[in-house]
Amino acid sequence: MDAIYTELAKRIGLGHSQRIPRLFEMIAGREEAEMLLRMPGNAPSLAEKLGHDVERVETALETLFVKGLVFPSAKTDPPTYRMGRDLVQFHDATILWPGAPQAFLDLWQDFMEVEWPEVAKQYSRIVPRPFTRVIPVGITVQAKSHVLAYEDVEEIINSSKSLSVTKCTCRLTAHKCDKELEACLQINRAADYSLARGTGRKLTKDQALDLVRRCEEEGLIHVVMNKQSVDHFICNCCSCCCQTMPVLIQHNVSVIEPSRFAAQIDPELCTGCETCLDRCFFGAISLTPDQTAQVDEKKCMGCGLCQVTCPSAAVTMKEVRAKDFIPEKLFG
Ligand code: SF4
Ligand code: SF4
């Protein structure tokens, strides 16, 4: 393989990977790879560095943008282009490459199965806090006054300026379940980005609320970036295909933080039907000898999925972590 693709993999910290250079090779021709290595830059500066005319560079940048390999910043005029900063950006953006061949998607899945658990372990040792956190499903948290704007799915949607939905990159490559595929809610700049790229479908607020309710009923967990604003995405994650949940569930790697809430079950109301046991990704619910459900708070991620389908309304969510548990800014 041309060493240029290993160089690109190094840019996202994965020069040692067996698969990431091959993924770069599949998505970028040599001239595109050279351009990526000269970034950041705008069309005129890249044209000068590469010895091409500006029009040719502009056309190439448009192609790289649609492929998900570059991100333009409109803070400068003309816009400055840069590569994806890390593995997650490279993963999430390139999987939605409209012309992605199946072999490319399959190689991504191979990476997720073989290399990702170890890479995730290394990330979790380096960063002080995980990049993502759970937010509880909208209908479950009853102590409304304690729910902050950035952990309330309805509030996030209602206060957004722009919304779109894209396919879930994890289910698109893993297809281990038949849960909602078009399920990644994009917010504000991320929505505008997906619409400009042609990877997103515009949603009204009502459509977005319908989507999250459907996802809650299907048993998908809402996940956002781990900071005190939600202006990027609300993922709707399953336990099998997702890039974070299996790493947490099967490998016990801390790649996602819980919400500030935990489920509690009223033993007077619980009939021991076990519906909630099946809903919980994390094995946090068990039956007591007298056949009522109980929650292990240490395992509970505060997603609220168990409450959605409890036929006896025996589950409520209680606040178990202080407001400052959610970091102001993203770490790492
Ligand atoms: S779903 Fe509700 S009633 Fe059924 S076991 Fe769980 S808490 Fe009890
Ligand atoms: S018990 Fe399980 S399903 Fe219920 S809120 Fe906790 S993590 Fe979610």
Tell me: the pLDDT tens digits for 128-146? Answer: 888 899 998 865 555 544 7
Q: Which CATH number covers residue 276?
A: 3.30.70.20
Ligand 2 midpoint to CA 37 (Å) = 45
Give the ligand with the smallest distance to the CA of 273.
Answer: 1
pLDDT at 172 over 80: yes
Neighbours of 268 (CB within 10 A): 8
What is the per-residue pLDDT for 230?
76
Neighbours of 191 (CB within 10 A): 26
Residue 331 lies in a domain: no
189 and 308 in a single domain? The answer is: yes
67 and 206 in a single domain? The answer is: no
- Tell me if 274 CB under 6 Å of ligand 1: yes
User: Distance between CA 218 and CA 157 in Å, rounded?
Assistant: 19
Q: Are strands 293-295 and 70-73 parallel, antiparallel or unpaired?
A: unpaired
177: pLDDT confidence band, cut at 50, 70 and 90? very high
- Tell me if 263 CB under 6 Å of ligand 1: no
Residue 307 lies in a domain: yes
Tell me the per-residue pLDDT of 35-61, one tens digit each, with 9 for 90 and over.
999 999 999 999 999 999 999 999 999
Q: Are 187 and 163 in contact (CB under 8 A)?
A: yes
158 and 22 in a single domain? The answer is: no
Tell me the per-residue pLDDT of 271-298, one tens digit each, with 9 for 90 and over.
999 999 999 999 999 999 999 999 999 9
- Tell me if 276 CB under 6 Å of ligand 1: yes
Give the ligand with the smallest distance to the CA of 310.
Answer: 1
Ligand 1 midpoint to CA 160 (Å) = 35
Provide the domain limits for residue 246: 132-325
What is the per-residue pLDDT for 128?
83
What is the per-residue pLDDT for 140?
57
229 and 189 in a single domain? The answer is: yes
What is the per-residue pLDDT for 126?
86
| Model-wide pTM > 0.75 | yes
What is the per-residue pLDDT for 127?
85
Q: What atom in ligand 2 is closest to the CA of residue 140?
A: 5
Q: What atom in ligand 2 is closest to the CA of residue 299?
A: 7
Give the residue from 181, 163, 327, 172 showing the smallest Cα distance to 233. 163
Share of the chain above pLDDT 90, in %: 77
Helices (H), the chain: 3-11, 20-27, 30-37, 43-50, 54-67, 87-94, 102-114, 116-126, 153-158, 169-174, 189-197, 205-218, 245-251, 275-279, 305-308
Q: Which residue has the tokens 């202080």?
A: 322
Give the residue, by CA position, lying nearest to ligand 2 atom 2.
280
What integer best gives the mean pLDDT of the chain?
92
Mean per-residue pLDDT, 211-219: 94
User: Which tokens in the block code for residue 276?
Assistant: 């909630």
Type of residue at 99: G
Give 184's strand partners. 166
Phi, psi of 222 (to 5 degrees): -80, 130
User: Distance between CA 111 and CA 103 in Å, rounded?
Assistant: 12
Choose the final residue of a domain: 83, 114, 145: 114
Choose the final residue of a domain: 114, 148, 172: 114
Tell me the per-residue pLDDT of 91-111, one tens digit each, with 9 for 90 and over.
999 999 998 999 999 999 999
User: Distance between CA 171 and CA 328 in Å, rounded?
Assistant: 30
- Tell me if 272 CB under 6 Å of ligand 1: yes
Neighbours of 197 (CB within 10 A): 17
Contacts with 26 (C-beta within 8 Å, 6 or more apart), sequence order: 101, 103, 104, 107
Q: Which residue has the tokens 């990877």?
A: 199
User: Which tokens in the block code for residue 100?
Assistant: 């992605």
User: Which tokens in the block code for residue 227?
Assistant: 């900071």
Give the residue from 234, 50, 39 showing the smallest Cα distance to 133. 234
What is the per-residue pLDDT for 145?
45
162 and 68 in a single domain? The answer is: no
Share of the chain above pLDDT 70, in %: 97
What is the per-residue pLDDT for 151?
80
What is the per-residue pLDDT for 329?
79
Contacts with 145 (C-beta within 8 Å, 6 or more apart), sequence order: none
